[in-house]
Structure 1
């Protein structure tokens, strides 16, 4: 990806040469580019841009290496509005998951994606927040009440239900697709 300033310089050169027929780089694109350039992602997280020309919409893949969700592969769609950073990104989990802070439709309950968002926060803060939800789910601020009640009432049963859901089983009448990554020599 291009650096922010080189994008702006290139845009200015193009505007002069083409008589301003090119689309302008928005402040949201500049900020997202800056945030992406500053990311230092661990091996358990990666990003993918379905359309390389659109940095406001991308997919983040998280593979927790500890906690209840260890070994699962979860993808999140990030949709960033042109009002970023004044509005938080919209983040959705693409897999159905048994998690107190992620409902069965993929909505994510993370305070900085709602009422605690501030323009000084960046994409790294959001990614760290999502990572933390997988390390320490919060049964006190839930979107999936059944999972939260399960976690509060019996952590061992909650763990079994998480593992069953991740393996593609049925939990409390809901069927889940397998999200466990295949072990070497095993079919997914």
Structure 2
């Protein structure tokens, strides 16, 4: 812990010295979060049905998208896109993850919020981007009706799995479930 404070003090001094000399460095210093994220991304070991992209270019590693195409379960052959926003204090704070794809799912609400314990109370700095992606992938292979964000979908999954399967297929085909319309995601 003491070593960390010394490093921070040294960085602050260097920054002040640079400013006193009359110019900021043309190179942008990376935050600890950016450095850790760079390491996480370089060590990704994704399932073949998942991919990562950087819509803002490789210079913006802190905002990216992950596409999941489940190859089994209720959501087989669907295509689901998630946005990740990573703060400079990562890994001490979990990334903000949201589904861009409107999906009929007990653990993802219609606004794209995701209910995954490692993004909330179970987050620990030893976890990484790979862990989150596998957690999201697992939500599609094993949706959890016991910890829902979409309570209607959870109740149908719990009480009538065949109807849940039909609702998922209808939603993924671009149909309506109840009064909610979905965009085709095959």
Matched, 1:20 2:25: yes
C-alpha separation in 2, matches of 1:42 and 1:131:
9
Deviation at 1:72, TM superposition (A): 0.3
Structure 1 residue ranges without an equivalent (≥5): 1-14, 181-188
Deviations 1:41-84 (A, max 9, x none): 22211111012201010000010000000010000000001110
Deviation at 1:19, TM superposition (A): 6.3
Deviations 1:113-156 (A, max 9, x none): 00110111111110110010000000000000000000001000
How high is the TM-score relative to the length of structure 1?
0.85
C-alpha separation in 1, matches of 2:159 and 2:24:
66
Aligned to 2:50: 45
C-alpha separation in 2, matches of 1:19 and 1:139:
53
Structure 2 residue ranges without an equivalent (≥5): 1-17
2:130 paired residue among 97, 105, 124:
124
Q: Rg larger in 1 or in 2?
A: 2
Aligned to 1:166: 172
Deviations 1:15-57 (A, max 9, x none): 9xx9623210111111001111111122211111012201010
Q: Which runs of 4+ in 1 moved over 3 A?
A: none
C-alpha separation in 2, matches of 1:21 and 1:124:
32
Q: Which stretch shifts more, 26-35 or 39-48?
A: 39-48
Matched, 1:66 2:72: yes
C-alpha separation in 1, matches of 2:133 and 2:65:
11
C-alpha separation in 1, matches of 2:25 and 2:176:
56
C-alpha separation in 2, matches of 1:42 and 1:136:
16
C-alpha separation in 1, matches of 2:65 and 2:158:
31
The Cα RMSD (Å) is 1.3
C-alpha separation in 2, matches of 1:86 and 1:45:
25
Matched, 1:31 2:36: yes
C-alpha separation in 2, matches of 1:172 and 1:109:
22
> Could you say what secondary structure the match of 1:165 adopts?
helix
